[in-house]
Amino acid sequence: MTPLRVALRVDASRDVGVGHVARAIALADEIVSRGGAVQIFGSVTGASWLLDAIAHRGLTVSPAPDHPTTLRDAVQAAGCTAVILDGYAFDPGTGAALKAAGLTVLAVQDGPFGAGQTADLVLDQNLGATDEFVPPGVPALLGLEYTLMRNEVLEARTDQHPGRDVPKGVIFCGGTDPQAAAPFLTDLVIRTRSAIELTVVAATDAIAADLARLLPRLGQQIDVISPTPQIVQIAANCDFAVVAAGGSVWELLCVGVPAAVVAVADNQEPTIRTIGATGAALALGTLRDLRSSSAAQDGAVTMLRRLIDSPRERRDVSARAGQLIDGRGRARVIDELSRAVARRSDCTARDRPGSEA
């Protein structure tokens, strides 16, 4: 097949988070590995480490026009034949405008979040995803079989994880942590009284200051770092992780890191419900409930203590996680996108005057 030339329409900010762009980078890695080309349209703010990851790949981010037709013009001017839309707040007519111009459209959604775009393909990479929010007749790529992993994640994937007398862990609440969850979750880990070496990612100076005010117990060491594109490599060298239930959860499952997860946003609550049922991670609940209920906090502390203190628990969780995600999701998605582009190209050729039926 002819190498793809794809436009990726995504944004990242403190409010939006970085997950949409992280998925776009994974798709870009796959497209470029096949000799294709990528142009990102959007805005990336409040996450310098993410811009570094983009620049490291030789990619650039162009401003995205607000109106569907002006976005269409920009995409066509870049020479792209396909567009991937990944965001919750795009103009609902964006997909239709792109399709009407002969572009192949892949729309990424998370259940109802981001749903409703006109598209040639729909992707929902979440555990337990169904076609409930997929337009009738549109092919859908559903479930963890299509989970998107960046190069850094695939390189960190391993069946072996270190075991230590003092477990080493990491707390990561997304690239921007808009709910300032990291200090709260760190305090829950401290309350386990378990001996630990803990690395906590502080998305802002204010969060770092809150973390500095926490008082670890005897045998507990806490190091605070800034957001980094190497977070998966750091996690891969840990015995456990405590994370927000965003896209980083699937990355940790792919790597096989035993994780406890918390929903810090409404769109993450389905993840908590489904992942807890599989046993591939420990579901601590929602940040909202944890902050408002001492009983919920006590339950979370008990679960965290079991994860930290029991090597057998960590091995079991890691084994179940490794069975869910094989790391080949992005290849499957680009295979399907390539076929969709080829189908549209064939249809266009047949519709030209003078072409044979």
Number of H helices, E strands in the chain: 14, 13
Cα-based distances in Å from 39 to 51, 61, 66, 70: 14, 7, 17, 16
Alpha-carbon distance of 285 to 306, in angstroms, equals 16
- Model pLDDT for residues 128-170, shown as the tens digit of each residue: 999 999 999 999 999 999 999 999 999 988 656 556 789 999 9
| 86 CA to centre of own chain | 11
pTM of the entire predicted model: 0.87
How many separate domains does the chain show?
Answer: 2
Please check whether residues 320 and 332 belong to one and the same domain.
no
pLDDT reading at 351 higher than 70? no
- pLDDT band for position 357 (cuts 50, 70, 90): very low
- Model pLDDT for residues 66-123, shown as the tens digit of each residue: 899 999 999 999 999 999 999 999 999 999 999 999 999 999 999 999 999 999 999 9
Dig out the tokens for 338 from the structure.
Answer: 């390539």
Dig out the tokens for 16 from the structure.
Answer: 């939006």
Query: Within a 10 A sphere around the Cβ of 273, how many other Cβ atoms?
Result: 13
Helices (H), 78-228: 94-100, 151-156, 181-190, 205-212
Please check whether residues 285 and 339 belong to one and the same domain.
no
pLDDT reading at 210 higher than 60? yes
Residue 192 is given by DSSP the state T
Cβ within 8 Å of residue 186, ≥6 positions away: 171, 198, 200, 211, 214, 222
Provide the CATH number for the domain around residue 39.
Answer: 3.40.50.11190
Please check whether residues 122 and 224 belong to one and the same domain.
no
Domain presence at residue 77: yes
Domain presence at residue 356: no
- Model pLDDT for residues 9-64, shown as the tens digit of each residue: 999 998 888 899 999 999 999 999 999 999 999 999 988 888 999 999 999 999 99
Mean pLDDT, the chain, whole residue set: 93
Q: Which domain range does residue 275 map to?
A: 152-324
